[in-house]
Amino acid sequence: MNATRRGFVNTAIAATAASYVRILGANEKVRLGAVGVGPRGQYLLRQSKKLAAECVAVCDVYSARLDQAASAAGEGVKTYKDHRQVLDHKDIDAVIVATPDHWHGPITVDACRAGKDVYVEKPMVHTPKDGQAVVKAAREHKRVIQVGMQARAVPHYRAAREKYLDSGAMGKVGLIRTWYNGNSGYVQKAPPGMEQKPDGLDWERWLGPGPKVAWNPDIYFSPYKWLYYDGGMIMGIGIHVIDSAHQCLKLTKPKAAVAAGGIYHFPDRDTPDVINLVLEYPQNLNVTFEAELMTTGFLTTAGLELRGTGGILTIERYDRARGYEYRPHPKNSTVPAGAGPGDPSDAIWLLQDWIDCIRTRGRTLANEEEGYYSSMACFMGNLAYQKKARIVWDSKWDLGPSA
């Protein structure tokens, strides 16, 4: 079948989704399907095995990865190369989507229409149109969506928010600095010997809704370098720390965005290797994001720093020794300085929240609306960089009220 968006919309699963929903028993495991089982997808499967969930089907366009994932998942796991075959399973409750980014939106919409709950890796989408389609499908089919922005559930992030933001100690925040430097994924290359497409890899299926291009091992093995497939550092890694800023102050849509940067040191890509972004918000505050690749291999740092009338709060993503640190304003703060150790930036807490909400039908920490607005902040940043202009939020990007 031609892998187009229109084709997905017209599949039979949309018409019969309601009959596919299982009622979970109190002690019954959530039955999962996994779509996209490269390194990230296999990691999420390993984490899910620690929870009240079991994987019954895996899907990938590359047979080698499919076999690896099936072996790790256990005996009796079914394998597919087309995600629609996974969604046809009446006994599957939910799916984990860890494909390249350009597939996130279409597969999530299909899964909602098939009556499946979804854990979709970040970014949820790259464009307003795709994001609105996901939100609409989730609302109409009453699905539980979790977007893989795992810092929302990491314990030391929560502790810092509760102690210094929820308590009011920070006062009025006017600036949030975020950063993510030295990420090795953005400089990796295809393994040797891949000039010819490997046997068992369905390249046309991998491209799916994207441009039809000849086999390119650098696109397949290093999609992070390409705007269409990953969204560059703003969308691919910036979303983590920008979303943390959103969560800290309950932000949604930016008012405007400006960005500057370029391809200064690594020419094998179409996305910048140095970027600075400024997002303006209606709450009279700015969120900045900076990233560079020059320190890859000896310095990987990520985090955010909130500056307010009461003090400065820094939350580290990877520095477990530092974790978070609060420095009070000597005149304005009634809360003393404080610090706490970090926790691993692990997806298990976010997966646990998702599994819990599948049972309760509650709202997840990183639901589709949170995923939409954080994706749109990054979309505006990329647009500002590409157009070399200040991008203002367009009202046609708004989400309508939920039912």
CATH of domain 5-150+350-367: 3.40.50.720
Any idea which of 57-61, 191-195, 307-311, 364-368 has the lowest mean pLDDT? 191-195
Q: Does the pLDDT of residue 1 top 60, yes or no?
A: no
Domain boundaries, the chain: 5-150+350-367, 152-187+225-344+378-397
Distance CA 21, CA 77 (A): 20
Q: 382 CB contacts (<8 Å, ≥6 apart)?
A: 227, 231, 232, 234, 235, 259
Tell me the three-class secondary structure of 70-98, residue by residue. HHHHCCCCEEECCHHHHHCCCCCCEEEEC
Lowest mean per-residue pLDDT among 7-11, 120-124, 262-266, 298-302: 7-11
What's the pLDDT score for residue 403?
59
pLDDT band at 345 (very low <50, low <70, confident <90, very high): confident
Of 381, 377, 347, the closest CA to residue 121 belongs to 347
Residue 296: pLDDT over 90: no
- The string of pLDDT tens digits covering residues 196-225 is 999 999 999 999 988 999 999 999 999 999
Give the Cβ contact number of residue 83 at 10 Å: 29
- Describe the strand order of the beta sheet including 78-80 as a list of residue ranges: 78-80, 53-59, 30-35, 94-97, 117-120, 145-147
Summarised one tens digit per residue, pLDDT across range 233-260 is: 999 999 999 999 999 999 999 999 999 9
Cis peptide bond N-terminal to 123, omega within 30: yes
* pLDDT score at 155: 96
- With a cut of 60, say whether residue 3 has pLDDT above it: no
In CATH, the number for domain 152-187+225-344+378-397 is 3.30.360.10
Rounded Cα gap, residues 392 and 245, in angstroms: 19
- Which amino acid, 267? P
Q: What is the β-pairing status of strands 285-292 and 173-181?
A: parallel
pLDDT bracket for residue 24 (50, 70, 90)? low
Alpha-carbon distance of 158 to 352, in angstroms, equals 15
Say yes or no to pLDDT of 362 above 90.
yes
